[in-house]
């Protein structure tokens, strides 16, 4: 068995992991009369982003987001206007950070970890979503899957970060609230750290890779990562 090498670079997913997508609920309440339609829309968005990648196609995440909103509207016989799409994109770009995010990031940065992000969203001009959420200062780099034209969990998305950061796969740890993201990272040789956000939990089934670290609070998750490093 190879010797455990603790991670030195912590890579964060952005949407829903760091930034709270429940801030989009008022839009879905207005359009559909039920805020929980947000979850249906987001699940379809992830499904079709991964379908595009598996089929060898690529469309920016924001464009898919608007298209999926129109699709869900069609399914429910609700007319979606251009202004609704514009409002969705504006809200996505200004989602707030969860309360546990800044303290956890500060802990990890002060402990000597390099922090970066890897998101399905395309790059945006300043002010970026991270800047608007007040957490951009914690990260040394921000990576987008747009650079490889494939959505997570395609291996190329994780290879991009390893190559750009000039580190071995085992030195990277993916923090995400989507288990498909930690599974993808672990399959690329990374560590996986799962943060349970609303409507996101670990899938317990035979053969499904379990994350190396898991918690329902990002501060506690940071403590688990740091404690493992101290023991190594």
Mean pLDDT over the full length of the chain: 95
pLDDT at 228: 73
Give mean pLDDT, residues 160-186: 98
Average pLDDT over residues 107-123: 97
Pick the CATH number of 21-92 from 3.40.50.300, 1.10.530.10, 3.90.550.10, 1.10.150.240: 1.10.150.240
- pLDDT of 41 > 60? The answer is yes
Asked if residue 134 has pLDDT above 70, the reply is yes
User: What own/partner pairs with CB < 8 Å and gap ≥ 24 does 138-142 have?
Assistant: 138/102, 138/105, 138/106, 138/109, 139/12, 139/115, 140/114, 140/115, 140/116, 141/116, 141/117, 141/165, 142/116, 142/117
- pLDDT score of 2: 46
Residues whose CB is less than 8 angstroms from the CB of residue 16 and which lie 6 or more positions away in sequence, other chains included: 42, 177, 178, 197, 200
Residues 17-40: what's their mean pLDDT?
98
Q: How confident is the model at residue 37 (pLDDT cuts 50, 70, 90)?
A: very high
Q: What are the residue ranges spanned by the domains of the chain?
A: 9-19+95-231, 21-92
The answer to whether residues 95 and 24 touch, using CB atoms and an 8 Å cutoff, is: yes
Instruction: Assign domain 9-19+95-231 to its CATH superfamily.
Output: HAD superfamily/HAD-like (3.40.50.1000)
Give residue-wise pLDDT tens across range 193-217.
999 999 999 999 999 999 999 999 9
C-beta atoms surrounding 81 within 10 Å: 11
DSSP-derived secondary structure for 29-54: HHHHS-TTHHHHHHHHHHHHHHHHHH
Mean pLDDT check: name the lowest of 2-11, 45-54, 94-103: 2-11
Residue 112's pLDDT is what?
96
Banded pLDDT at 148 (limits 50, 70, 90): very high
Category of 56 on φ-ψ map: left (φ > 0), alpha (ψ -120 to 50) or beta: left
Asked whether residue 4 carries a pLDDT value surpassing 80, the answer given is no
Percentage above 70 pLDDT, the chain: 96
Instruction: Establish whether domains 9-19+95-231 and 21-92 are of one fold.
Output: no
């Amino acid at each position: 068995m190879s010797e455990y090498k603790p991670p030195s670079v912590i890579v964060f997913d952005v949407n829903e992991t760091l930034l709270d997508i429940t801030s989009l609920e008022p839009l879905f309440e207005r359009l559909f009369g039920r805020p929980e339609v947000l979850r249906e829309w987001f699940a379809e968005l992830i499904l079709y982003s991964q379908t595009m990648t598996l089929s060898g196609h690529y469309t920016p995440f924001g464009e898919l987001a608007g298209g999926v909103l129109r699709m869900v509207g069609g399914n429910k016989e609700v007319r979606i206007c251009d202004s609704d799409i514009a409002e969705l994109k504006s809200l996505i770009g200004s989602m707030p950070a969860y309360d546990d995010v800044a303290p956890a990031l500060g802990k990890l940065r002060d402990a000597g970890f390099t922090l970066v992000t890897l998101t399905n969203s395309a790059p945006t001009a300043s002010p970026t979503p991270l800047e608007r959420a007040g957490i951009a200062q914690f990260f040394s780099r921000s990576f987008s899957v747009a650079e490889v034209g494939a959505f997570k969990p395609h291996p190329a998305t994780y290879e991009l970060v390893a190559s750009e950061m000039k580190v071995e796969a085992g030195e990277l740890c993916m923090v995400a609230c989507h288990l498909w993201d930690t599974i993808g990272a672990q399959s690329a040789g990374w560590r996986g750290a799962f943060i349970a956000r609303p409507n996101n939990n670990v899938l317990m089934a035979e053969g499904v890779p379990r994350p190396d670290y898991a918690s329902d609070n990002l501060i506690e998750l940071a403590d688990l990562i740091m404690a493992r490093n101290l023991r190594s």
